[in-house]
Each structure stands twice: as structure tokens, then as C-alpha cells.
Amino acid sequence: MKCCEPTQDALFGGISRRDFLKVCTAAAVYMGFTESFGPKIAEAVTTASRRPPVIWLSGQECTGCTETLLRTTHPTFESLILDLISLDYSETLNAGAGHQAEEFRAKSIEENTGKFILVVEGSIPVKDGGIYCKVAGRTVLDILKETAPKAAAVIAIGSCATWGGVPSAEPNPTGATPVYKILEGTGIPVVNIPGCPPNPYNFLSTILYYVTFKKLPQLDDKLRPKFAYGRLIHENCERRPHFDAGRFAEQFGDEGHRQGYCLYKLGCKGPETFNNCSTLRFNDVGTWPVNIGHPCFGCSEEGVGFTAPLHSPARPLYITPPTQFVSATPEQGKGASSLAAAVAGAAVGAGAVAIGLNLGKKDHDENEES
Ligand code: FSX
Ligand code: SF4
Ligand code: F3S
């Protein structure tokens, strides 16, 4: 047994080997591999000679992207992330401050040139020379331009970093610009993980993929991992059978809304937003906007979130077959909750939902029972 291989009782990222395997298996399924790939990912990660160093820069943002990685009910996810990578610099999480932190960043970049992952959270203001966002007296624009060419790859996390997000909303007073545009033409590989905030599992899976295969996952034309952003939310939504049957909530709180009908007429942008919220869901409680009665407002999609009016109807990109056909009579499908289980079972990524979101819960429940 290799020294870094976890034993039955060993912990990785503060979680048991069994839970770690669950996470890797969920990530494997979710990235389009078979379940049997989970142990291979786990082995690659635990036997890696070195955790990839990460420099995390912040531009114009609300820190929601960092928070989404840290705020989990069970203290497992953030420790898992922090054990997968060596987070050498993050303005939010740095232990040191001021000159000390800046010196550590410079040292890590120098020692790890060509090897570290640069994560950027937030958009980059370019107007007036970028003076609207400065760290340690320098513009983030300068810091990004100086740091990115030394990185192995750049991960832009959140809608702000990937396409501009909130700071770029009209009239975009600071010239908020996405990271990939700043780096256009440099040949530096950039991965976009949009969402405001994005699902932390999309970030985790991208890191797991990189550590396992030593390369970036397949990306779409907007530089998003295809495994996470390859489908419209509308394709696997639990309310989709209601859409197909023509049952809509007309107003918040009306009978259709209480019955869990489709939220299209309330402005749901699921038909024009590519993301996996309807299959992967958020946090330990496994919820997402549509599930709790609010239309998706397209927070991850450029030209939709923070751009289209909240309650204007979506412009469906294409009509796709539903994942599940149900009777059009409401009696047989009372509300979304009764449909959710059936649809979720058929949905792509259901394995990830079932396994990933129960992380730590079983042990918790067992403890409660004992
Ligand atoms: Fe906030 Fe991140 Fe939104 Fe932006 O997420 S959650 S404003 S995408 O950069 O911190
Ligand atoms: Fe779901 Fe929205 Fe599509 Fe209705 S319009 S099925 S609520 S994603
Ligand atoms: Fe955002 Fe819509 Fe998902 S608002 S979190 S893309 S459901």
C-alpha cells in the first residue's frame, strides 16, 4: 500500500474513504463515465505526488462563488476541495494579509510556473485602465495579465468571471469584462464555470478531472465543461411534464403555483439556459430555484441572467423531447413533488444527485439512530 493511499478508516479531506469513494463515483457518473470509474478517480487523486497549487484571484464579485464552496451543512465539501488542491493564495481565505500574502503569492507563482491552476472569481474592469478594482495597490487587470501566462490553466468561476455577470449589467459603468476576453489570443487555456453562484460540484468535478487526466475536460463553444452545461435546464426539469401538458402557474401563489405546475409563464428561463441545476441541485438539501417555486432567471447564461427582464417569457432555443411522459390529467400527477422522483430517476446525472448530495448524511443519520 502506498503511503498516501487511504486505509479503510483513513480520512481524505476530512471525510471517510467510503464517502470519498461516493464523491468520486458521483463525479464519474456526472462527467459521463460509468460508476466503475469512481475508484480510478479516487486512486488518481489519492496517489498524486502533489496537490495542484491554486492561486485564486478575486475581481468584481460578491464572494458568492467562494461561499458556495464553503457553505455546506456537513463540514466535508470545503475540506475535500482544500485537500484536493493546495490553495496558495485567496484573498478571502488567506491566513496572512498585506505584504505577507502578496509575497507568498509571488513565491508560489515563481516556484510553480507552468504548473499552478489560476482560478478567477469576478469580472475584470477595463475602463479607465482598470482602476475600479485594485488589490495591494495594483489593478486586477494587471495582476491577471501578469499571472495567467504563468499558469497551467485558468478556471473562471461564476457568471461575473465567465461572461461579466452582475457587474457587466447595463450600463456597465466600469467596463466589466470576462476573463477569457482579457486573455483572448494568448493561447492560455480557460475553462468557464458560470452560475451566480455556480454549483460547487461543477468546480469539484473539473478539478477531479484535471487531477485524474492531467488535462481539461471537453468544453463547448463558450468554454464550459460539456458534462455540466451540455443541456438546457428545461430538458430535465421536474416540472417539464406540466409544460408538455400545458399546465402553467399564471401568478405566484395561484392554484397552479401551489400544484407545482410549470413556471414558464412566470418568466422561467430554463428553456434558454444551459446548466445542470435540474439534475445536480444545490447543497445538502438538494434544492434549486424551480424546486422551491421560483422561475430560473438564467443566472448562468450570457444574454439572459441580469439582462432579460425577470418575468418576461423565455425564448425557447429548441423544443426537446421530455425525459418522462405522464398523464395530462392533474389527478394522476398531483404537484411537482410526486413527479419529481420519477423524473429525477430518469434524468441524466441522477446518480450524482443521489450519491453526491447524500454525502455525509448517512453517517449523520446513523449517528442519530445510535
Ligand atoms: Fe457573486 Fe461570484 Fe455571482 Fe459573481 O459568484 S454569486 S456576483 S457570479 O462572481 O461571487
Ligand atoms: Fe421547468 Fe421552467 Fe421548463 Fe417549466 S419552463 S419545465 S419550470 S425549466
Ligand atoms: Fe441559476 Fe437558473 Fe440554475 S437561476 S441556479 S441557472 S436554475
Domains and CATH numbers, the chain: 51-229 (3.40.50.700), 233-347 (4.10.480.10)
- pLDDT above 90: residue 340: no
Q: How far is the CA of 195 from the centre of ligand 3 (A)?
A: 7
- pLDDT above 70: residue 201: yes
Nearest CA to ligand 3 atom 3: 277
Q: How far is the CA of 197 from the centre of ligand 3 (A)?
A: 9
More confident residue, 366 or 255: 255
Determine the pLDDT at residue 12: 63
- 165 falls in which pLDDT band (50, 70, 90)? very high
- State whether the beta carbon of 263 lies less than 6 angstroms from ligand 2: yes
Helices (H), 75-124: 77-84, 98-111
Q: How far is the CA of 155 from the centre of ligand 1 (A)?
A: 14
Q: How far is the CA of 63 from the centre of ligand 1 (A)?
A: 6
- pLDDT above 60: residue 342: no
Ligand index nearest the alpha carbon of residue 283: 3
pLDDT, tens only, 47-87: 777 788 999 999 999 999 998 887 655 556 667 777 778 88
Q: Which of these ranges, 115-119, 161-165, 207-211, has the smallest mean pLDDT?
A: 207-211
- pLDDT above 50: residue 1: no
- State whether the beta carbon of 271 lies less than 6 angstroms from ligand 2: yes
Pocket mutation for ligand 2, best pick of 237, 257, 276, 292 (most atoms within 8 Å of C-beta): 237
The DSSP call for residue 32 is: T
- pLDDT above 50: residue 29: yes
Determine the pLDDT at residue 20: 80
* % of the chain exceeding 90 in pLDDT: 52
Pocket mutation for ligand 2, best pick of 238, 273, 290, 310 (most atoms within 8 Å of C-beta): 290
Please, which residues have CB within 8 angstroms of residue 233's CB and are 6 or more apart in sequence?
269, 270, 271, 273, 274, 275, 276, 277, 278, 290, 296
- State whether the beta carbon of 306 lies less than 6 angstroms from ligand 2: no
